[in-house]
Amino acid sequence: MTETVESIVNCKNVSVYYGQKKAINNISIDIGRRSITAFIGPSGCGKSTFLRTINRMNDTIDSCRIEGTVIVDGKDIYDPSIDVVPLRAKVGMVFQKPNPFPKSIYENVAYGPRIHGLASNKSELDDIVEKALKGAGLWNEARDRLDESGTSLSGGQQQRLCIARTIAVEPQIILMDEPCSALDPIATSNIEDLMSDLAKEYTIIIVTHSMQQAARVSQKTAYFHLGNLIEYGDTKEIFVRPKDSQTEAYISGKIG
C-alpha cells in the first residue's frame, strides 16, 4: 500500500451461512473512504452475498445467518441495538437489474428523502431531486419528463435513475451489485464515468463480473473464490502482479 486511506468499513472474521451451507468463509477486509473497491471472482463465489452483508440486505433472506463483526463508520452494524433503517440510509445500494418503482421519475427519486423526512417543503424536495438527477447524469434527459413512469426509460437510464434514487438520500457508501450486467456497452461506459465522479464524494463498493471494468474504475480489488477472500490489494498490483496463483488463473482467463 502506497498511501494510508482512512477506512470506513472494517470486517473481521465474517462468515455467512444459508441454512447449513457456508457461503462466506471467515473474511476480514478494510475498505477505504471515498474510493472505489471492486469485488471480483467467478459466479457463486460469494461476492454478492458479502456485499449484501454490508447494509444487512441479507436480513430479507430467512435462512441467512452471519458470524463475525462488520463495522461501518465505527459502529458494529450487527449489534442488536442497531436499526437497519439508518444503516441503509447511510449505505445505499444499486442492484443488478434496474428496479425503478412503477411510479413517476420524480417520485422515484423523491421516495427516499420523503420516507426519511429529509426535505421540509416541496421546493426543498425539488432541489434534492434535481441535485440527485444531476449527480446521476440524468437531469438533461429527464428534466422534461419527470412525470413519466420510471419504467418508461431505457435500461441504462433506469439504472442511472436507481443511482439518482440512492444518492438523493445522501448516503456515505454506495454498494453496487453488478450494476452494468444488464446494460449495453454504451450505457455501461456512462455508468462507469458516473462512478468515477461519485467517488469524489462517496465510498463505492462494486461487485462485477468484468475484470476490465474492475481495472477501469477501481482503486482496490478483492478477489473472491468459493467463499474465500483470496487476495486484496491495489487494483494495479493485482492485475499486473497477482500474488496468488488462483487470482492469476482467473485474471488470465483460465477459470471463470
Residues that bind other proteins (CB under 8 A): 55, 57, 60, 62, 73-74, 83-90, 92-95, 97, 99-103, 111-112, 115-118, 162, 165-166, 169-172
Q: For residue 61, what are the β-bridge partners?
A: none
Nearest approach, Cβ of residue 17 and other proteins (Å): 17
Nearest to residue 165, comparing CAs of 213, 239, 115?
115
Nearest approach, Cβ of residue 215 and other proteins (Å): 27
Nearest approach, Cβ of residue 189 and other proteins (Å): 24
- CB nearer other proteins, residue 90 or residue 220: 90
Nearest approach, Cβ of residue 86 and other proteins (Å): 5
3-state secondary structure of 228: strand
Residues 6+ apart with CB under 8 A from 121: none
Question: How far is the C-alpha of 189 from the C-alpha of 130, rounded, in Å?
Answer: 23
Question: How far is the C-alpha of 95 from the C-alpha of 84, rounded, in Å?
Answer: 18
Nearest approach, Cβ of residue 114 and other proteins (Å): 8
Nearest to residue 209, comparing CAs of 96, 100, 98, 99?
96
Question: How far is the C-alpha of 183 from the C-alpha of 140, rounded, in Å?
Answer: 20
- CB nearer other proteins, residue 84 or residue 249: 84
Q: How many CA atoms lie within 13 A of 167 on its CB side?
A: 27
- CB nearer other proteins, residue 88 or residue 216: 88
- CB nearer other proteins, residue 151 or residue 219: 151
Nearest approach, Cβ of residue 177 and other proteins (Å): 10
DSSP sequence for 94-139: E-SS----SSBHHHHHHHHHHHHT--SSHHHHHHHHHHHHHHTT-H
- CB nearer other proteins, residue 105 or residue 162: 162
Count of residues for the chain?
256
- CB nearer other proteins, residue 87 or residue 194: 87
